[in-house]
Structure 1
């Protein structure tokens, strides 16, 4: 049975993400009975995940502020502020932020991918270990555990 769920900003987990960015976990599978995960990225120019595909979930992301390049299969597109993208599972994709800062809302259904972000990232409420980084190896391990397939380096 699903229940309504409310999480104020101070209750949302903040993860350190790629290139010093932040991912706020707004809703996760626990809050939505496994139905969806919603996250919000605050990232800087150049932030780019590896070229990858999801094997378990569909993804939607909206660029609230900023600009980015998007690759879907081998097609390159520009994503402008307010643009939204739907990426069904098994469709290879990647993006790279091209503005100084970007605010990106991500929705995945069903939930579960938040485990990958939690495994590879770092909860910002805990002390930062010396030398912490999201290495290629850490990203590959997290991806494999949670149904993502890395197809190539960031673009």
Structure 2
């Protein structure tokens, strides 16, 4: 499925794992960046298959290449970028399961930033800012919902 400009393949979702986890293979084109966001009900990890991921978490920034494992626990504001000239391929693991429903709902509609914020909120994700290194293009959540970094 297409998700925010990336290609995602659900390898195992809640129905296959008894709700324990979701495993997704994701390919991100050069320049792809997620908006800053918070997972309120699940933890997230990436295993980098190829390419290099630049991760932003709180005030930390680091890069991880093929073979690296990145752990991002719930309630931590984070984002990631493919800053390379080649695709980034990774396995995304979230637990408990459920991320696949968010991805499906986003893939089914347009990519309007306001709609993304609404769909994310329904699934327990808070969009807290635009992608790293970009100008604010997205409508910002009310200030009471923003995470101060």
Which consecutive unaligned segments of at least 5 residues does structure 1 have? 1-14, 123-131
TM-score with structure 2 setting the length: 0.83
Instruction: For residue 133 of structure 1, report the CA deviation from its aligned partner.
Output: 4.0
Q: In the alignment, which of 62, 65, 79 is matched to residue 47 of structure 2?
A: 62
Tell me the secondary structure at the aligned position of residue 8 of structure 2.
strand
Tell me the secondary structure at the aligned position of residue 141 of structure 1.
helix
Query: How many residue pairs align between the two structures?
Result: 131
Structure 1 moving runs of 4+ over 3 Å: none
Instruction: For residue 43 of structure 1, report the CA deviation from its aligned partner.
Output: 1.6
Instruction: For residue 29 of structure 1, report the CA deviation from its aligned partner.
Output: 0.7
CA deviations over 1:69-128 (Å, ceiling 9, x no partner)? 110112111122221111111011110002211111000110011111010014xxxxxx
CA-based RMSD of the aligned residues comes to 1.3
TM-score with structure 1 setting the length: 0.80
Which consecutive unaligned segments of at least 5 residues does structure 2 have? 133-149
Q: 1:63, 1:84 within 8 Å by CA — same for their partners in 2?
A: yes
